[in-house]
Structure 1
């Protein structure tokens, strides 16, 4: 049984305060994009995970999909499965690939074994695995707040645009990204700004991580500038990761950026 777990981009990201539990409160808009990992589950004598495609650092049995399976298994007595994961979403990109894999596995298990979990119950399981994991259960555009795990629906449709992802050969650790930001509560409202024309977002919809990440990795800032030079209506880094996305009003080719980076068109 297969599932196709899609990535997301963060449109705007404001770090608003440091929490007592060590996490940060934030505001962002999650928007799903058409770049997919593929997950397959099959019966097995014991739980096993195989990761193919983009290389995965570490023990495959430490994969978040295994953690998701065990989380449901402890409550619902699931039989052992082999989880085969084909990774197409870049790792450490700020695109939520791991979180998507876990959430889609929860949905896949719920369907295959007729567990009967509601959407809200699947979200509760997903929240135990990662701050943005629950987003992928409903998988529709939302305004996310608190740790990024509480949501309000937003009316946002970018289907008329061409969205391009540019992933440089750089890994930005979450620790490095957060070390360079100072939480600030904004007077401007991201929920309001996101309803404005996309052409106005350049000045009103920002990612707090960009200042420190661009300072540490100027190549990422260079990619953003190049995307604007190519005519992007809006460009930004997604989340705390290295990937930069751009919104164009038309189909485009970026051969100069393909030389040193992975470029994904019309996602």
Structure 2
């Protein structure tokens, strides 16, 4: 195994998001479909014998001690105290966009260091560690587009047909905590079977609330709806629409108003991380 790895830390979309209840501990019970993308951040890991974990690059102004990348690295049981790593982050996934950037970074760190430090932790063990860092981390560790239930950690791999997505990032930050604690959030949607999603019976329960609070999200959805079923991903702020091919998605991107940032990405069934790493044992 090389002492240095450069990996794409992929973004995700929630193709739908139903809130079907709330646990006694306050966590919401969800149904969603996590779609992995071939677009995201870039992380470089260089293992060393310093015994320290250092992070450089685009850290969004977050102190290193609070960054999910550093927390993920420190959560792993090292075989030797001298095992260290220098990590460099090139950030493209916007914060507060519902694209899973922090969770993806944490999962990519767990997978990379499991390999570089030769820890031989199983996928299940890494997912358990990841869940302590965030509810969306396990799906990135598992590395497959998946139907998710529970708090988002009960995963069933799904093979999705090829699709391309235009994603718009409105210039606003949506607080997940604010949305999930809001009194107007729908929390009693009936659970559905996977077949119902593929028949078109789904939505994002957060979308009406987010677009009522954030005018920029509402405007982006209104514009994108002329191309198809435009949706919020997660709690936002990013919105997306799917297309059957890359040319159609890029044609729509070419019409995007200048006040919005956007990108085109292809949906993936397997994480690009596993193109560079051996998949952890089950």
TM over 0.5: yes
Q: Distance in 2 between matches of 1:2 and 1:169?
A: 29
What count of residue pairs does the alignment treat as equivalent? 254
Q: Distance in 2 between matches of 1:73 and 1:65?
A: 15
Q: Distance in 1 between matches of 2:203 and 2:130?
A: 27
Q: Distance in 1 between matches of 2:197 and 2:76?
A: 36
Corresponding residue of 1:224: 221
Q: Distance in 1 between matches of 2:82 and 2:45?
A: 12
1:50 has 2:49 as partner: no
Which of 230, 235, 243 is the aligned partner of 1:235?
A: 230
- Give the secondary-structure state (helix, strand or coil) at the position aligned to 1:13: strand
1:173 has 2:168 as partner: no
Question: CA contact under 8 A between 1:6 and 1:35: conserved in structure 2?
Answer: yes
| TM value normalised by structure 1 | 0.88
Q: Distance in 2 between matches of 1:77 and 1:191?
A: 46
Corresponding residue of 1:23: 27
Q: Distance in 2 between matches of 1:137 and 1:34?
A: 16
Which of 196, 204, 207 is the aligned partner of 1:207?
A: 204
- Give the secondary-structure state (helix, strand or coil) at the position aligned to 2:241: strand
1:265 has 2:267 as partner: no
Which structure 2 residues correspond to residues 154-169 of structure 1 after superposition, within 5 A? 154-157=158-161, 159=162, 161-169=163-171
Question: Structure 2 vs 1, CA of residues 6 and 38 (structure 1 numbering), >3 Å: closer, same or farther?
Answer: same
Q: Distance in 2 between matches of 1:66 and 1:225?
A: 39
**RMSD of aligned C-alpha atoms?**
1.9
Question: Structure 2 vs 1, CA of residues 103 and 76 (structure 1 numbering), >3 Å: closer, same or farther?
Answer: farther
Q: Distance in 2 between matches of 1:243 and 1:12?
A: 13
- Over residues 29-72 of structure 1, what are the superposed CA-to-partner deviations in whole Å (9 max), with x where a residue is unaligned? 101011121111222733211132xx603213321010001000
Question: CA contact under 8 A between 2:10 and 2:39: conserved in structure 1?
Answer: yes
